[in-house]
Structure 1
């Protein structure tokens, strides 16, 4: 993830993470996409050799650290960081969609 992509990620309301098994033999490709203003962009990619909750925790922690280094703030989630439910000025993730990967769904992941 580049600095520019991490800065953009910090302003995206809709995020999706997905695991693909097709491109690189013996690895799973993690992709983090975001949608804003009708455009969908890939913000990060990573190759994983396991699909465990621990691997996802490390990956999400690392993504959050990259965003922190680039922007001075960690990723924000509207339901946690807004002053109220009607606060439309709050930037942050409104919805994070996951696929049915076992590692993403097994344990609660705290960024």
Structure 2
């Protein structure tokens, strides 16, 4: 009877240890998923900040060029915001990706 009680106590202890190990493993997996999501969010934020910075620089360059040019030096549409923005977008878009918003009939395909 004592041996049976001892075996039952050992089995119960083993079951508790297994449950604790599974809980710890689940907690580690959850933490890994959380850290992965955090890293992905940070990468997306960094990419968005870089894109914003590039566009801001391009628009500042465009504005600077517009201020320096007189109306007699070029046609009125030579430095329009739309054409310059479209050129910057085409320059910064991989060749495999289509333009996000067609800006001319040739972009629309």
Question: Into which bin does the TM-score normalised by the smaller protein fall?
Answer: under 0.3
Determine which structure has more spread, i.e. the larger CA radius of gyration. Answer: 2
- Higher RCO structure, 1 or 2 (CA under 8 Å, sep 6+): 1
The structure with the largest helix share of the pair is 2
TM-score computed with the length of structure 1 as normaliser: 0.23
The structure with the largest strand share of the pair is 1
